[in-house]
Amino acid sequence: MTLLLEGKRALVTGGTGALGSAIARILAREGATVAFGTTSAGEKADRVAAAIRKEGRTALPLAFDVADAAAVQAAVSRCVAELGGLDILVNAAGISQAVPLALMREDDWDRMLAVNLRGVFLVCRAALRPMVAQRAGVIVNVGSVAGRRMLDAPVHYAASKAGVSGFTLALAREVARYGIRVTCVVPGLLRGGVGNHVPPALLELYGRRCVAGRVGEPDEIAEVVAFLASDRASYVYADDVFVDGGV
C-alpha cells in the first residue's frame, strides 16, 4: 500500500504532548521524516524520537518555545538544514488552564495567547520562507471545538483557538498562489493533553452530548492530520475540519 507521506519532511510543534506525539508518530508511519518541537530535551523527547525511529524514519528533536521569535527561527532553520527542506508543518503546540475570567490574571491571558496563537504566527512565518521558495507545502493548524462551540471552556483558551481558525482562513488565501495549502483540524475533547485539565464531570457530559458517546483519542486526530497533510487532500483548503465525535 502506498504511504500517504512517503519522502515528505515534516515539523510538528508540541511534539511531546499527547496529541503532538501521536501526530509525529503517525506522520512517520506514513513515510515522513519528522522534526518535532519540545520545550526541553529529556525523557519525553527521547520517547517520541524512539517511536518515530521505530517506524523506520529519521527523528529530529528541537527544543524551543513557540512564543520566542528568535528560538522559533533558529529551530526552523535547523530543521530545514538537517532535513533538506520542509514540506509539512503541523502546529500542535498548545496549553490550557482552568480558571474563570473573574479570577484570571493578565499574565494568564497573555501566556495563553502567546503559546496558542502567537506561536502559530511565529512558526508559520518562519516555515513559509522555505515553502514559498520551493513553491509547495502544507500547514495544518490545530484548533479546538472550544473555539467554535459554546462549551464550558476557559475563555482565554477558547479565544486563542478561535483565533487559530481565523488565522487559517486568511493565511490559506494569502499563500495559495505559492502552491501552499493551509487547513485547520478541530478536535473535540481528547483523552490526555489539555483534556487532563477538564474536570471528570465535564468529560462525562461531553461523552453524553456527542454522537460517538465518548471523548476522543489523540491517534484519531493524528490520522486526520496525516490525511490533510497528504496530496490526497489536495482540494481541502482553509476550512475547519471537525473531529469532535459529533457535537
Find the radius of gyration of the CA atoms of the chain.
17
What confidence score (pLDDT) does residue 235 get? 97
Model confidence band, residue 146 (pLDDT cutoffs 50, 70, 90) = confident
pLDDT at 171: 98
pLDDT band for position 153 (50/70/90)? confident
Q: How confident is the model at residue 150, as a pLDDT?
A: 74
Closest Cα partner for 159 from 211, 217, 101, 103?
101
Side-chain-side CA neighbours of 190 within 13 Å: the count stands at 23
Sign of CA dihedral 148, 236, 191, 160: negative
Residue-wise burial string across 55-85, b where 16 or more C-beta atoms lie within 10 A, e elsewhere: bebebbbbebbbbeeebbbebbeebbeebeb
Active-site annotation, residues: 157
pLDDT at 198 > cutoff 80: no
Phi, psi of 233 (to 5 degrees): -105, 30
Query: Is 90 exceeded by the pLDDT of residue 174?
Result: yes
- 106 or 201, greater pLDDT: 106
Other CB atoms closer than 10 Å to residue 233's CB: what's the count?
18
Spatial CA neighbour of 188 closest among 228, 240, 230: 240
Q: What is the mean pLDDT of residues 232-239?
A: 95
- Read off the pLDDT of each residue in 165-182 and give the average, rounded to a whole number: 98
Whole-number average pLDDT of the chain: 94
Instruction: Pick left, alpha or beta for residue 101 (phi over 0 → left; psi -120 to 50 → alpha; otherwise beta).
Output: alpha
Cell 471545538 belongs to residue: 145
Residue 33 has pLDDT above 90, yes or no: yes
Using CA atoms of 40, 171, 243, 192 in order, give the dihedral in degrees to the nearest 10: 10
Range 180-185 average pLDDT? 98
Greatest mean pLDDT range, 2-11, 140-149, 190-199: 2-11
97's grid cell = 488552564
Exposure of 6 by Cβ count < 10 A (0-12 exposed, 13-18 middle, 19+ buried)? Answer: exposed
Compute the average pLDDT of residues 203-231: 93
Q: Is residue 63 predicted with pLDDT exceeding 90? A: yes
Mean pLDDT along residues 90-95: 96
Q: How many whole angstroms separate alpha carbon 131 and alpha carbon 127?
A: 6
| Dist CA 161 CA 148 (whole Å) | 8
Q: Which residues pair with 216 in a beta bridge?
A: 190
CA nearest 89: which of 134, 157, 34?
34
Would you say how long the chain is, in residues? 247
Query: What's domain 9-243's architecture?
Result: 3-Layer(aba) Sandwich (3.40)
The pLDDT value recorded for residue 2 is: 86
Give the integer Cα–Cα distance in Å for 89 and 182: 9
**So what's the pLDDT on residue 247?**
84
Q: How confident is the model at residue 152 (pLDDT cuts 50, 70, 90)?
A: confident
pLDDT in tens, 65-87: 999 999 999 999 999 999 999 99
pLDDT over 70, % of the chain: 99
